[in-house]
């Protein structure tokens, strides 16, 4: 056979070559190429017969244009000899040879030169042969059909057989070394059809029309011969068109081919649209494959083209509809055509509303004549018309197909059953409520839909297409049931559907499908190394995984109670199966299938783990396995794998948190922690390229906040932010935010999951607790940046949990943090993010991590040495400064706190993460650092106060104008910081005397405001409502608000008066009062450090009282809201009396736990926490007894010390001294009388720590409540010394 190659070369140079002999030689080579294509190709390369190129194409447009392609000897023969005589034997054999070479070389690794020469052959066929073959001169007309058919077969082979992978080759020169990535043959072929004249020739063949084909059949009297050849040509063109629309590059402007397809005008009014011509192939009955391919092309157009197919059909729409449904309902019709019609209708439901309504054919129900007469006489209100299925409706055929007795028979084979349920699933997904209502009323409908769920399926092997269709059918059934539960709710589900769920539970089908899915995943491990996106989207295992995933998510939500997935053993079995599947899939991460399966499984496991709290204990056994999974993900660069890595890290964080809450002794081993810490540190290093690029565009604070999705966080614990040795928990703790993965992380992970054939399932509202489940199609080439952003965020939370778990072994993990430069990385990226106002989730995670590190002395010192103040102090100015002025961010948007009237079963909106909240976390971080390092951090704390003193003062003043959640939380953090600073009042006064005096005035004014607001609940409710409507308030508007407020509200000073007025306190008002009480408590605790010591005032007669300022003025009236209203003794007397009133209202709650002694342990409010439901019972009281007792004791302490300070003031007139003694004696005696009454009813112990006493116990000896018997009300016990001191103070000092 070796003599053929020189013979071909010789014949090509002959002036008049024998075309028949040359064609025979090429035919021999084509036969040889079927068996040894590589050898034939290499031998032909030594000749100059085939078209070739010397270029390496890196741009697809250049490759498709044919630039640089040499026609070689074949091109000369075609142009000079075959086209002249009109006979094309060499061309026909050349096309067969190219086709054989493409098939033979498709499965082999070819060089860069070979791939480029093959590309030259294909482009030559498209550009020079196929685009022009209809214009050639033919001696035998059959040659034209053969040339067209063989050209299409070559292109069909390229589009269906050749892989999409590009050939990459390294080129090395003397100066550099780089990789050359060439254009693939498929990419060039697709681009040539979409943008060149080859596409016009393709559309001309596809638009031949059924009339021309039928005319050929009539002329010949049979389908054989020319009609069959024409049918084959049309089928190839339709198949290639379908393939082109599938493989065309995404996110590109419409190409000429698409423009011609979607254009609604053809230039001639009497000619039908091209889409209508293709749809008319449904009339052809001789070759069902032609009708099937035309229907599948319409399905692809419905999904890919921005057009209305219904409009393109014109007046033929109804006739075509009838023909489609007629062939669908015919029992003897080709099954593949039926499947194609149902798939076309499924796509129409999703993207073509007009066409779907045409096929659904819903009509108003016809009424009897008697009913019509009665309705015409009676004037009833207009009601929605009752609908029914028309006689010509696709649903009749679908309902007939899915009947349970017919499933699995010739009437309903697996692929047809799958397509029918797929159409129903599309109706539920698109929420076609009218059609759904009619379907629900059909007898045994739910039994027919759920029948596949009770069948056992084998694991598919080989070409088991029937089993694969059955697997997809099960997935559709799961989705329909899940969507029905979500849309309808638990109480209004059909009885038949509830029976289905009960049957699934009784037969333990949930466990079966969980195990079967694990078997499917295990059987596909390592498969699909080079599987393409469109094939991955249709993979039956991923389709079932996504259907099962949606079913479980709905079952875990509030809408899924009817599914009855409540058994803990069943839940644990499902979670164990998912965990094992994740571990098995990570063994072959090079497989695209495994990578996508891991992405789905990890997100599902994390979502279920956070919802099924009762199963978290049993999942700790998988913690070690998840560490190994993270280790395998460490080097992954694909976006899908990075998303999976984020989900696994979030899962491990959840397990660690639950393990710590259970106070178990055995945690992760030291070896595992040493393995995991470097991986977490490396993951956090992704933040350097994502957050440290400042945004040069000047925008507002809120506009720079990135979307909240893509951040898999984990639940945070309620704990103190300053648990240092020697300090106890605070009695004025504010509820620290409990971060839940059911908020941001699960919603982000679920929204990122692909859904394959299911399309967009965006029906989950945030009220479900699942977030919005947007299921996009599987996209292998997803943007990586979104997943890279979530990776360092989750890594920060995981690192936080790891360090807390090993809090006592600082020496083990501090060297690792230094080795990977974690603290410098955190601080530098933190500064860049705050300056650019980007990466708010990352900033939040880092600040929470640093806050926890600040509770440990060694790590806090490292954070201080790393330059926490230098990196964050000035950067914080960018978070609230605009146009050089400090703008109070607490006056936030209405979405930060909605104060509308509560509705039943209405969930509280989630707090929006904002940069003012980041500032609040920074304040809390500095508070923790100061509480841990004491004088070592005092200079940094003073610098922080100096830079942000205007903001701090403005925050204290804003409480009077704005009682929103954001404002009050910032005020809590600020007053707690001031309390810590008050420990070092001497240094503070030395460095900033003027600023400190001004701050003390603002702090006492804040106490005055808090007391005035707390005492007037109805006025507070009025202010909340007006603040919600007006969003922002200024001091000038407060006067107008007070004038517009009824006088009765302004004068209301007690709860009893509110009850007399008949107004019940709003739960939101009570929550606001609770926050104001915490602020008041912390403010009073800070002021105690600026007041002289009580014992020293009593015992040291030579004490210099001028060193301590007088904090409030002489006055005893109840505090009122107004501008520049000073704080008086009446303010603090009202505060202590108000505490007694609150305690009297909390009589139903007994035996409160002993609070801590220090107010410094108030936990920081976490960002993004969810409020309790507005439907909360009004009997539930949000007030804390320990906070009330601390307010009471701190207020009494300040009254006594400031009273003595005033009495020792030499410039105080005698009249004012007598007034002070008389009023204080009266008010404090009344307070002691009320306190006795409270103790006689069994009050709890006092949490006092600032006074010599520590608690108050019930005094059983107290029998008299009269003021004359106060001297016998308190004993000499240590717990009652403080109030005995107050009693002695009244008797000996004030009288």
**pLDDT, tens digit, for every residue of 1003-1032?**
999 999 999 999 888 888 888 887 776 545
- Exposed, middle or buried: residue 1217 (CB in 10 Å: 0-12, 13-18, 19+)? middle
Distance from C-alpha of 1220 to C-alpha of 1206, rounded to nearest angstrom:
9
Sign of CA dihedral 451, 455, 460, 463: negative
Residue 167 backbone dihedrals phi, psi, to 5 degrees: -90, 125
Contact 853, 863 (CB under 8 A): yes
Distance from C-alpha of 640 to C-alpha of 847, rounded to nearest angstrom:
28
Helices (H), 531-567: 533-537, 540-555
- The confidence score (pLDDT) of residue 530 equals 61
- The confidence score (pLDDT) of residue 1040 equals 55
Which of 691, 684, 685, 741 shows the shortest CA–CA distance to 712? Answer: 741
Distance from C-alpha of 1002 to C-alpha of 324, rounded to nearest angstrom:
80
Residue 1131 backbone dihedrals phi, psi, to 5 degrees: -60, -45
Which secondary-structure segment (H or E) carries 1240? helix 1214-1240
Helices (H), 34-165: 37-45, 60-65, 72-77, 83-85, 89-106, 112-124, 141-160
Distance from C-alpha of 957 to C-alpha of 601, rounded to nearest angstrom:
51
List 177's β-bridge partners, or say none.
172
DSSP 8-class letter at 366: P
- The confidence score (pLDDT) of residue 1212 equals 81
- The confidence score (pLDDT) of residue 1161 equals 41
Q: What does the angle CA 232 – CA 233 – CA 234 come to, to the nearest 5 degrees?
A: 90
- In residues, how long is the chain? 1295
Distance from C-alpha of 21 to C-alpha of 7, rounded to nearest angstrom:
10
Pairing of strands 881-882, 885-886: antiparallel
Distance from C-alpha of 589 to C-alpha of 632, rounded to nearest angstrom:
8
Which two tokens mark 626?
Answer: 């998840």
Which secondary-structure segment (H or E) carries 177? strand 177-181
DSSP 8-class letter at 281: G
Which two tokens mark 363?
Answer: 């009509």
Which secondary-structure segment (H or E) carries 170? strand 168-172
Q: Which residue has the tokens 């105690």?
A: 1088
- Around Cβ 803, how many Cβ atoms within 10 Å? 21
Which two tokens mark 59?
Answer: 């741009």
Distance from C-alpha of 419 to C-alpha of 405, rounded to nearest angstrom:
17
Distance from C-alpha of 1248 to C-alpha of 1156, rounded to nearest angstrom:
9
Which residues, at least 6 apart from 488, have a Cβ–Cβ distance to it below 8 Å?
Answer: none
List 886's β-bridge partners, or say none.
881
Distance from C-alpha of 1200 to C-alpha of 1222, rounded to nearest angstrom:
13
- Exposed, middle or buried: residue 1275 (CB in 10 Å: 0-12, 13-18, 19+)? middle
- Exposed, middle or buried: residue 16 (CB in 10 Å: 0-12, 13-18, 19+)? exposed
Q: How many helices (H) and strands (E) does the chain have?
A: 58, 8
- The confidence score (pLDDT) of residue 512 equals 95
pTM exceeding 0.75:
yes
Instruction: Give the CA distances from residue 860 to residues 413, 722, 814, 868, 928, in Å, rounded to whole numbers and listed in that order.
Output: 69, 11, 11, 10, 9
DSSP 8-class letter at 691: T
List 387's β-bridge partners, or say none.
364
Which of 524, 745, 533 shows the shortest CA–CA distance to 653? Answer: 745
- The confidence score (pLDDT) of residue 167 equals 53
Regions in the chain scoring below 50 on pLDDT: 165-166, 171-178, 266-267, 371, 373-383, 692-785, 883-911, 1031, 1042, 1047, 1054-1063, 1149-1179, 1245-1272, 1279
Half-sphere exposure of residue 669: CA atoms within 13 angstroms, side-chain side: 7
List 776's β-bridge partners, or say none.
754
3-state SS of 664-696 is: CCCCCCHHHHHHHHHHHHHHHHHHHHCCCCCCC
- The confidence score (pLDDT) of residue 154 equals 93
Which of 807, 739, 810, 711 shows the shortest CA–CA distance to 1163? Answer: 739
Half-sphere exposure of residue 675: CA atoms within 13 angstroms, side-chain side: 16
Which two tokens mark 484?
Answer: 């029905």
Distance from C-alpha of 322 to C-alpha of 392, rounded to nearest angstrom:
7
In the three-class reduction of DSSP (H, G, I as helix; E, B as strand; rest coil), residue 90 is classed as: helix
């Amino acid at each position: 056979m070796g003599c053929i190659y020189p013979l071909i070369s010789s014949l090509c140079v002959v002036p008049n070559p024998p075309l028949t002999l040359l064609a025979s030689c090429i035919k021999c080579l084509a036969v040889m190429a079927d068996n040894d294509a590589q050898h034939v190709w290499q031998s032909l390369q030594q000749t100059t017969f085939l078209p070739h190129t010397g270029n390496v194409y890196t741009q697809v447009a250049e490759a498709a244009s044919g630039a640089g392609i040499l026609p070689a000897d074949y091109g000369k023969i075609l142009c000079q000899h075959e086209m002249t005589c009109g006979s094309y034997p060499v061309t026909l054999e050349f096309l067969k040879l190219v086709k054989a070479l493409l098939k033979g070389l498709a499965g082999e690794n070819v060089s860069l030169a070979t791939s480029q020469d093959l590309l030259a052959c294909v482009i030559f066929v498209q550009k020079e042969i196929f685009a022009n073959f209809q214009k050639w001169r033919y001696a035998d007309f059959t040659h034209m059909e053969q040339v067209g058919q063989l050209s299409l077969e070559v292109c069909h082979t390229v589009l269906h057989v050749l892989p999409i992978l590009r050939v990459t080759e390294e080129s090395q020169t003397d100066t550099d070394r780089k990789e050359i990535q060439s254009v693939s043959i498929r990419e060039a072929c697709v681009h040539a059809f979409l943008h060149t004249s080859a596409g016009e020739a393709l559309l001309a063949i596809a638009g031949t029309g059924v009339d021309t084909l039928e005319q050929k059949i009539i002329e010949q009297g049979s389908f054989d011969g020319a009609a069959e050849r024409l049918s084959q040509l049309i089928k190839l063109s339709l198949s290639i068109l379908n393939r082109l629309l599938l493989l065309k590059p995404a996110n590109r402007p419409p190409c000429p081919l698409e423009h011609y397809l979607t254009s609604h005008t053809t230039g001639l009014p009497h000619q039908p649209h091209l889409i209508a011509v293709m749809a008319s192939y449904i009339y052809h009955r001789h070759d069902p494959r032609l009708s099937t391919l035309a229907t599948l092309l319409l399905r692809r157009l419905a999904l890919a083209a921005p057009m209305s197919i219904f409009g393109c059909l014109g007046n033929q729409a109804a006739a075509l509809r009838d023909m489609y449904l007629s062939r669908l309902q015919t029992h003897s019709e080709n099954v593949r055509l039926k499947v194609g019609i149902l798939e076309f209708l499924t796509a129409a439901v999703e993207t073509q509303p007009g066409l779907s309504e045409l096929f659904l054919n819903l009509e108003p129900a016809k009424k009897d004549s008697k009913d019509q007469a009665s309705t015409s006489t009676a004037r009833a209100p207009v009601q929605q018309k009752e609908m029914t299925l028309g006689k010509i409706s696709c649903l009749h055929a679908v309902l007939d197909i899915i009947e349970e007795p017919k499933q699995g028979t010739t009437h309903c084979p697996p692929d047809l059953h799958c397509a029918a349920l797929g159409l129903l699933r599309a109706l539920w997904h698109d929420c076609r409520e009218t059609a759904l209502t009619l379907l629900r009323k059909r007898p045994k409908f739910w039994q027919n839909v759920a029948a596949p769920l009770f069948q056992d399926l084998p694991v598919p092997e080989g070409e088991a297409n029937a089993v694969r269709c059955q697997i997809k059918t099960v997935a559709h059934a799961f989705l329909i049931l899940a969507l029905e539960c979500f849309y309808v709710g638990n109480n209004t589900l059909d009885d038949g559907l509830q029976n289905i769920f009960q049957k699934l539970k009784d037969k333990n089908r949930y466990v079966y499908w969980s195990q079967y899915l694990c078997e499917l995943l295990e059987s596909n491990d390592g498969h699909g190394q080079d599987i393409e996106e469109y094939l991955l989207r249709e993979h039956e295992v991923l389709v079932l995984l996504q259907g099962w995933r949606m079913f479980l998510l709905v079952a875990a939500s509030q809408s899924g109670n009817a599914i009855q997935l409540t058994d803990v053993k069943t839940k644990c079995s499902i979670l164990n199966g998912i965990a094992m599947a994740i571990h098995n899939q990570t063994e072959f991460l090079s497989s695209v299938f495994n990578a996508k399966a891991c992405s789905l499984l990890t997100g599902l496991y994390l979502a279920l783990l956070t919802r099924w709290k009762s199963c978290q204990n049993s999942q700790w056994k998988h913690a070690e396995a998840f560490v190994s999974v993270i280790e395998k993900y460490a080097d992954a660069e694909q976006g899908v794998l990075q998303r999976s890595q984020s989900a696994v890290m979030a899962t491990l964080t959840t397990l660690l948190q639950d393990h710590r809450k259970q106070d178990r002794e055995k945690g992760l081993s030291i070896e595992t922690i040493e393995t995991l810490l470097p991986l977490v540190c490396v993951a956090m290093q992704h933040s350097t390229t994502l957050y440290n690029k400042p945004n040069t565009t000047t925008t507002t604070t809120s506009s720079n906040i990135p979307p909240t999705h893509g951040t898999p966080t984990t639940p945070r614990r309620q704990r103190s932010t300053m648990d240092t040795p020697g300090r106890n928990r605070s009695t004025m703790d504010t509820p620290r935010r409990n971060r839940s993965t059911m908020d941001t992380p699960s919603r982000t992970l679920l929204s990122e999951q692909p859904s394959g054939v299911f399309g967009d399932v965006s029906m989950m509202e945030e009220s479900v607790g699942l977030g919005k489940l947007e299921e996009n199609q599987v996209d292998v080439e997803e943007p990586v940046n979104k997943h890279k952003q979530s990776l360092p965020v989750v890594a920060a939370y995981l690192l936080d949990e790891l360090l807390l778990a090993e809090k006592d072994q600082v020496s083990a993990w501090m060297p690792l943090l230094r080795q990977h430069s974690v603290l410098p990385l955190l601080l530098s990226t933190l500064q860049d993010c705050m300056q650019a106002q980007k990466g708010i989730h990352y900033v939040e995670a880092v600040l929470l991590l640093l806050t926890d590190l600040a509770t440990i002395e060694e790590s806090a010192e490292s954070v201080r040495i790393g330059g926490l103040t230098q990196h964050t102090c000035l950067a914080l100015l960018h978070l609230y400064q605009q146009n050089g002025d400090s703008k109070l961010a607490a006056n936030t948007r209405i979405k930060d706190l909605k104060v509308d009237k509560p509705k039943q079963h209405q969930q509280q909106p989630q707090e929006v993460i904002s940069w003012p909240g980041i500032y609040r976390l920074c304040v809390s971080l500095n508070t923790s650092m100061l509480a841990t390092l004491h004088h070592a951090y005092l200079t940094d704390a003073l610098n922080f106060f100096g830079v942000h003193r205007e903001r701090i003062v403005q925050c204290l003043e804003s409480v009077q104008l704005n009682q929103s959640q954001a404002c009050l939380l910032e005020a809590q953090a600020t007053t707690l910081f001031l309390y810590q600073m008050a420990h070092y009042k001497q240094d503070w006064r030395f460095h900033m005397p003027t600023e400190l005096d001004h701050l003390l005035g603002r702090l006492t004014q804040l106490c005055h405001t808090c007391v005035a607001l707390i005492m007037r609940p109805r006025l507070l409710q009025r202010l909340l409502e007006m603040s919600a409507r007006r969003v922002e308030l200024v001091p000038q508007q407060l006067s107008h608000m007070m004038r517009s407020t009824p006088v009765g509200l302004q004068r209301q000073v007690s709860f009893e008066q509110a009850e007399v007025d008949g107004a019940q306190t709003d739960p939101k008002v009570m929550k606001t009062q609770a926050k104001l009480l915490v602020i008041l408590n912390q403010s009073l605790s800070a002021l105690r450090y600026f007041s002289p010591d009580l014992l020293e005032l009593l015992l040291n007669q030579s004490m210099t009282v001028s060193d301590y300022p007088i904090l409030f003025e002489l006055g005893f009236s109840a505090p009122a809201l107004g501008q520049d209203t000073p704080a008086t003794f009446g303010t603090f007397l009202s505060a202590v009396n108000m505490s007694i009133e609150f305690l009297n209202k909390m009589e139903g709650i007994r035996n409160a736990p002993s609070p801590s002694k220090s107010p410094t342990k108030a936990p920081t409010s976490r960002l993004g926490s969810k409020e309790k439901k507005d439907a909360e019972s009004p009997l539930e009281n949000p007030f804390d007894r320990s906070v009330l007792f601390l307010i009471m004791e701190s207020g009494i302490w300040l009254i006594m010390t400031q009273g003595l300070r005033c009495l020792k003031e030499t410039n105080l007139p005698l009249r004012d001294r007598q007034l002070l003694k008389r009023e204080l004696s009266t008010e404090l005696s009344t307070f002691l009388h009320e306190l006795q009454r409270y103790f006689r009813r069994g009050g709890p112990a006092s949490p006092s720590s600032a006074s010599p006493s520590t608690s108050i116990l019930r005094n059983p000896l107290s029998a008299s409540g009269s003021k004359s018997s106060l001297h016998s009300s308190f004993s000499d016990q240590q717990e009652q010394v403080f109030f005995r001191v107050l009693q002695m103070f009244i008797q000996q000092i004030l009288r």
